[in-house]
Amino acid sequence: MTTDMRRKLVAGNWKMHGLSSDLAEIAVIAAASKRLPAVDVALCVPAVLVERAARAVPGFAIGGQDVHHAEQGAHTGNVSARMLLDAGAVLTIVGHSERRDAHRESDEEVRAKAETALACGLAVILCVGEPLEIREAGAAVQTVLAQLDGSLPRSLAGRPPLAVAYEPIWAIGTGKIPTGEEIAAMHAAIRKHIDDHYSDAGAAVRILYGGSVKGSNAPEIFAIADVDGALVGGASLKATDFLPIVEAAAAR
C-alpha cells in the first residue's frame, strides 16, 4: 500500500472538556465531515459523553480517550473497552502523554490497553512522543522507537484499524511545533519501524501528527511525507477551528 492509499484521519481529542451543551458542536462537525468523504474524521470525547454523542451523530466516529487493560473486574473508576463499545464508541486513544505522565502508564500497560481494545473491536490511536529535554539531547527518534517497541500491539490480524500518533510532549498545547524536517524524520522512522514490526499489515497503520495543530499550520503538516493525519486537542473543540483542519486533510 502506498501513502496515497492511506486515507487521512483527523481525530479530535476533547480531553476533559465537553458537556451536553456541546453536543450541538459535535453535530456541526459531523455534518460538515460528511460532506468531505475523502477524509476520516473522529472525535474522542469524555467517557460520560460518548453515549449521547454517538446517539446525536449516527454514523460519525465517536471515541473514548483511554480504556482499562482488563476486560472487566474490580477496577474502581475505570472504563473498559466493552463499555465504550456498548456506549457507541468505535475507537479509543491509548497511551496519551497526559496519561503516561499523570497516571504513570508504562509502555507495557499501553500495549495491554491497545491489545484489549482491538480484541474487543475498537480501533486504536496509540500515542508516543518525547519530552523537550530528550529532543534537545538529540535522542527523540530513538526514544520514540523504544516507546513503540514497548507499546505496539503484537498482532493486527483480523483487528480494527490501528493508528500511531506522534505527539511531541513539548508541542502539546504550547503553540510550538517541530520543524517540517523534524516531523518528516520522525514519521519516516516510525513508518519503517511499523513496516518492520508488522510486515505487510503495517501498511494500513496510519501515522498521525499531534501537538498544536491548527487550521493555519495544517496544510503544511499534511504535505509532509508519512503524515497520514492529525490528532488535535484544543482546536477540535469548536467546529470553526476544527473544520479548517479537516478541510486541509481532504485537500491532500
Q: Which residues bind ligand 13P (CB under 6 A)?
A: 13, 96, 167, 172-173, 210-213, 231-235
Residue nearest ligand 13P by beta-carbon distance: 233
CB of 225 to ligand 13P, least distance (A): 21
Is 103 a catalytic site residue? no
**Cβ distance to ligand 13P smaller for residue 112 or 169:** 169
Which residue in the list 115, 130, 167, 247 is annotated as catalytic? Answer: 167
Catalytic residue among 68, 96, 187, 193: 96
Report the amino acid identity of residue 235. Answer: A
Residue 94 region by backbone torsions, left for phi larger than 0, else alpha for psi between -120 and 50, else beta:
beta
Q: Given the C-alpha cell 473514548, which residue does it identify?
A: 64
Nearer to ligand 13P, 12 or 198 (CB): 12
Q: How far is the CB of 246 from ligand 13P (least distance, A)?
A: 14
Residue 64 near residue 120, CB atoms below 8 Å: no
Position of cell 497526559?
A: 98
Across the chain, the runs of DSSP E, i.e. the strands, are: 8-13, 39-44, 61-64, 91-94, 123-128, 162-166, 206-210, 229-232
Shortest approach of ligand 13P to residue 4 CB, angstroms?
25
Long-range contacts of 233-236 (CB under 8 A, 24+ apart): 233/12, 233/13, 233/15, 233/172, 233/173, 234/173, 236/11, 236/12, 236/13, 236/14, 236/43
What is the nearest approach in angstroms of ligand 13P to the Cβ of residue 211?
A: 5
User: How far is CA 149 from its chain centroid?
Assistant: 18
User: Active-site residue 96, yes or no?
Assistant: yes
CB nearer ligand 13P, residue 198 or residue 222: 222
Q: Give the integer Cα–Cα distance in Å for 185 and 97.
A: 21
Is the CB of residue 128 less than 8 Å from the CB of residue 144?
A: yes
CB of 224 to ligand 13P, least distance (A): 17
Is the CB of 221 or the CB of 231 nearer to ligand 13P?
Answer: 231
Identity of the residue, 70 or 161, whose beta carbon is nearer to ligand 13P in the bound complex: 161
Name the residues annotated as catalytic: 96, 167
